Amino acid sequence: MIKHVVVWKIKDPAQKSAHASAVKRALESLRGHIPGLLAIEVGIDIGCDRNPEDVVLYAEFADRAALDAYQKHPLHEDAKAIVALLVTGRHAVDWEA
């Protein structure tokens, strides 16, 4: 199994809530539509840390091939286009579990 985590900042702090919710909807809409994507969850920061990121994606994939296929899947490309409009920066970590 591969675990995949990505974190972002929302570009427009004045629109943080609305834009973070849009990112969450776009990414979670992939659930059940991409082969090998076993789990997906998107969290929005609740403000406990002094210097937080705003949105986090957590996903699990059957294997590396499933993660690679996800990256190129047309539905993921559509979601990425939405996300790219609303976020700045991207930090990711992938690991085998």
Q: What is the crossing angle of helices 74-86 and 64-72, to 10°?
A: 70
Q: Look at the domain 2-51+72-96 and name its fold.
A: Alpha-Beta Plaits (3.30.70)
- Residue 23's φ and ψ, nearest 5 degrees, are -60, -45
The 10s digit of each residue's pLDDT in 48-75 is 999 899 999 999 999 999 999 999 999 9
The 10s digit of each residue's pLDDT in 22-42 is 999 999 999 999 999 999 999
Tokens coding 51: 């210097």
The pLDDT value given to residue 96: 98
The pLDDT value given to residue 75: 98
Give the 3-state secondary structure of residue 36: coil
